[in-house]
Structure 1
Amino acid sequence: MIFIDNEGHTNPKLNLALEEYALRHFDTSTDYLLFYINEPSIIIGRNQNTLEEINQEYIDDNNIHVVRRVSGGGAVYHDLGNLNFSFITNHDGKRISNFKKFTAPVIRVLNNMGVSAELKGRNDILVNEKKISGTAQFSTGKRMISHGTLLFDTDMSEVTKALQVKMSKIESKGHKSVRSRVANISDFLKTPISMEAFKNQLLVGLYEASEPFETYKLTEAEWQAVHRLKAEKYDLWDWNFGRSPKFNIQRNKRFSVGEIDLRIFVEKGHISELKIFGDFFGRKPVSDIESLLIGVPYDKVEITKALKNLSVTEYFGNLEKTEFLNLIYGND
């Protein structure tokens, strides 16, 4: 495995561009590990409706970055007290949605540091029932990213202020607030250490479970390409916010795979516009489904026909097609 040196950059748009560039352009015969720390920012899941996840006024007043990532899942808050890790590997069909495989070495190192971490739920690392890390994945079909956050010394008051917690999440999980269910790793360490020391200990611990690492520094031409990707994608309002679609039907439900939120515009009995939001994980883009249903009569039989050959699990994870059809048409 090769460790990628991000040279201390803390701009989240640049770090996400670096991560995607490495995924798409680095040598496919080897695995990579990337660490990065971001300035105060909200990182939005690929399928989320940004404006409904953030406290816009607070973000504007405090100059907090808002950036969409390529992977699914929910919105997370980053600051200089949060360490992000990213494994870039081949996609062999067994690794996608296998969060245990990629969190296991991180959990092992945390345990060796005296932090009783464990993987729980879909994709979270918890200590004493409090979340210290969330993970997500993205696949190009050949290569994949498995990345996550590690809350080391994050300002928890900012998490609550910057993120809007949807009522559906509060009702379905019984959370009183975001603050009540997250914690910093530093809270569980017997001896205080700096972020830099924590990062180094984590890296050394990950070395021990693999072949010797080597550190890779990007060439000037590669950094130019990363900056170009940042400018052409991660700097753009269309990528980070996108347009909010017009709709006259909203269907929203939380499943075991996550929340699915449908915005459907029906004109003259046919679906003229459809947008699928949510914090689910899937291998394929939901834009496939959106395109398939444009022009289809808003009728369960016709919708079922249009989706006959569609594998719902490819887009949402372990979800039955009947559950999705019922959500679209309202029979739940």
Structure 2
Amino acid sequence: MRQKGIPLARRRSGGGTVFHDLGNVNLTFFTSKKNYDRHRNLQVVTSALKGLRPDLDVRATERFDILLNGHHKISGTAAKLGRTAAYHHCTLLCSVDRALLSAVLKPTCQGIKSNATQSVPSPVKNLLDEDPTLDCDTIMDSVASQYNTEFGFSSPVTLVDPSDELSLPGIQRMAHELLAWEWTFGRTPKFSICTTFKLKDDMSICNATLNMDIKNGIIESCDIEVPSDWLPVELSREFSLHLIGGKLCPYETSVLAAELLRTIPQNKELERKMYNLCRRVIFMM
């Protein structure tokens, strides 16, 4: 994601990772907690789609996903319930860049262990691939109309500019909070990374291991093991010690790595190998 310049935000509703571009419609249903009903909300969506194309095979599942033709996932769900209010949001894949979606949702670091809910990979398909008339604007208009019908409203559609601070006071601050490290990583459940990775040099290659425990985004323990015939044990141990107490953050780790590299004796081979080790660990963050 960093290589492609795609920003990461963490929503307050929890759940699995969602890829967004302009071909992915995000729908949010705000209600009182008493009237919270995901089944009814998804019925609005499926009815709106069938209203555009009656023979379209779309149905909600027990996981509150929406499947196309009983197989392809076109919508996922997340929700948050407060003391008196609630919201439920879901997606609709209309014309998403599926190649990019698959690329960014593929984990770059294997071996992450936590108690968080695991994402369930599913085959996906764009509605536009099923029917060229099902573009984003057409679908949004149909969902709005079906929503009014379902809930007995007659309200016109109002376009909202999410960057308009005058209409939505505090919206920029809230958006910044969802993007900030303090929320995206600093408020995450405790997790660990236990993985093996390859280190390459011009003349050699070896397997290294990384064992790391992270709480509130802070590295509590770290053990990097590299074969001693590839890199002196004291150097990998020193790198591990440098990371403990720091943020799980590629930018801060890059600064720590740069500081450590400056302390290495004048040895081009060791410098190169340590640089490769630092780069691989940073890549997994």
Q: TM (normalized to structure 1)? A: 0.48
Offset, 1:82: 0.4
In the other structure, the counterpart of 2:279 is: none
Q: Is structure 2 residue 133 aligned with structure 1 residue 192? A: yes
Q: Is structure 2 residue 24 aligned with structure 1 residue 79? A: no
Preserved CA contact (<8 Å) 1:134 1:148: yes
Preserved CA contact (<8 Å) 1:151 1:185: yes
Offset, 1:110: 1.2
In the other structure, the counterpart of 1:141 is: 83
In the other structure, the counterpart of 1:125 is: 66
**CA distance, structure 2, for counterparts of residue 247 and residue 118 of structure 1:** 35
Shift in CA distance, 243/223, structure 1 to aligned 2, threshold 3 Å: closer
Larger radius of gyration: 2
For 1:236, which of 180, 185, 190 is the aligned residue?
A: 180
Pairwise CA RMSD of aligned residues?
3.3
Query: Which runs of structure 2 are paired with 1:299-314 in the superposition (5 Å)?
Result: none
State the percentage of identical aligned residues.
28
String of CA shifts for 1:9-60, please: whole Å, max 9, x gaps: xxxxxxxxxxxxxxxxxxxxxxxxxxxxxxxxxxxxxxxxxxxxxxxxxx11
Secondary structure of 1:131's match?
Answer: strand
Offset, 1:248: 7.8
Shift in CA distance, 157/109, structure 1 to aligned 2, threshold 3 Å: same
Preserved CA contact (<8 Å) 1:125 1:131: yes
Partner letter of residue 9 of structure 2? Answer: V
Query: Which runs of structure 2 are paired with 1:111-260 in the superposition (5 Å)?
Result: 111-114=50-53, 115-128=56-69, 129-164=71-106, 178=121, 181-189=123-131, 191-209=132-150, 210-215=152-157, 221-231=166-176, 233-242=177-186
In the other structure, the counterpart of 1:313 is: none
Secondary structure of 1:66's match?
Answer: coil
Secondary structure of 1:149's match?
Answer: strand
Shift in CA distance, 142/127, structure 1 to aligned 2, threshold 3 Å: same
Query: Size of the alignment, in residue pairs?
Result: 183
Secondary structure of 2:43's match?
Answer: helix
Secondary structure of 1:65's match?
Answer: coil
Preserved CA contact (<8 Å) 1:82 1:154: yes
Secondary structure of 2:25's match?
Answer: strand
Shift in CA distance, 247/194, structure 1 to aligned 2, threshold 3 Å: closer
**CA distance, structure 1, for counterparts of residue 165 and residue 74 of structure 2:** 35
String of CA shifts for 1:68-119, please: whole Å, max 9, x gaps: 0011211111111000000111001x73xx4312211111111222222111
Secondary structure of 1:87's match?
Answer: strand
**CA distance, structure 2, for counterparts of residue 78 and residue 110 of structure 1:** 20
Query: Where does the alignment leave 5 or more consecutive residues of structure 1 unmatched?
Result: 1-58, 169-174, 251-262, 266-272, 274-332
Preserved CA contact (<8 Å) 1:110 1:116: no
Shift in CA distance, 167/127, structure 1 to aligned 2, threshold 3 Å: farther
Partner letter of residue 125 of structure 2? Answer: A
Query: Where does the alignment leave 5 or more consecutive residues of structure 2 unmatched?
Result: 113-118, 195-212, 221-285
Shift in CA distance, 111/193, structure 1 to aligned 2, threshold 3 Å: closer
Preserved CA contact (<8 Å) 2:78 2:88: yes
Higher relative contact order (CA 8 A, sep 6+): 1
**CA distance, structure 1, for counterparts of residue 47 and residue 189 of structure 2:** 44
**CA distance, structure 2, for counterparts of residue 140 and residue 244 of structure 1:** 19
